[in-house]
Structure 1
Amino acid sequence: MSRVSQTHPQLVPVPIPDAVATLIGLSLPRPVLQAEIDAFGEVREIRRLRPLNSAEDRQDFEAALGRLARANKTLGAYGPRLIVRGAA
C-alpha cells in the first residue's frame, strides 16, 4: 500500500505512519488490497521500461499496461477514487 496520501494533486503528499497504513489495509478486502499492490508495481515497471528501445521492451510495456488495467478494473469496481494513474 502506498505510504503517501495522494487525495488531491495540488496538495503536498503527507507521510502516513505504518500503523495507520496497516489499519487502512486491514479495512480493505484482500482482492482490492492485492490489486492496489499490483497496480503500483505495474506503474513502476511501466516507468522502468521507458524509453522503449526494442521490440521486447514494447511487448513488456504493453503487457504491463494490460496488467495495470486489470488491477484498475478491480480497484474501480470497489471505489473509483482508488484507480492508480501515472503510467502515461
Structure 2
Amino acid sequence: MIALAPTGVPVPDVVAALIGTSIPLHVLQAEIDAVGELREIYRLRPLASDEDRQDYEAAAGRLARANKKLAAYNPKLVVTPGSAA
C-alpha cells in the first residue's frame, strides 16, 4: 500500500515505515486516536438527538486532546476535517 504525502505525492511503504520509526510512539498513538475521533465526529452528523450531541462533544474533546499532543510535537501534524478522513 502506498500512502499519499501532504503534497499528494505517493510515498512507498518502506519510506513511510522509516518515517514512522523516527516519530515517538506517543505521537503516533495520538495521530491514530485523532483520526479515529474525526471519523466518530463525521459519523455523528447531523446531530439528531441529545445522545448524539453528547457523543459528538465527547469525541470533539478527545480529538482536541490528541491534537494538543500532535501540535506539541509538530504543529503540521494536527488532524483537521480537511487533512484526514
Q: Could you state the TM-score of these two structures normalised by the residue count of structure 1?
A: 0.82
Gaps of at least 5 residues in structure 1 are 8-12
Match of 1:47 in 2: 42
Q: 1:22, CA displacement in angstroms?
A: 1.4
Between Structure 1 and Structure 2, the one with more strand by share is 2
Percent of counterpart pairs with the same letter?
66
Check if 1:5 corresponds to 2:20.
no
For residues 15 and 62 of structure 1, what CA distance do their matches in structure 2 show? 34
1:53 Cα deviation after fit: 1.0
- Is 1:17 the counterpart of 2:12? The answer is yes
Hey, what's the Cα distance between the residues in 1 that align with 2:51 and 2:12?
A: 39
- Paired residue type of 1:48: R
Matches within 5 A, 1:9-88: 13-86=8-81
Q: Which runs of no fewer than 5 residues in structure 2 stay unpaired? A: none
Letter in 1 for 2:62: R
TM-score (norm. length: structure 2): 0.85
Aligned length: 80
Helix, strand or coil: the match of 1:25?
Answer: helix
> Take 1:16 and 1:66, find their aligned partners in 2: how far apart are those partners?
31
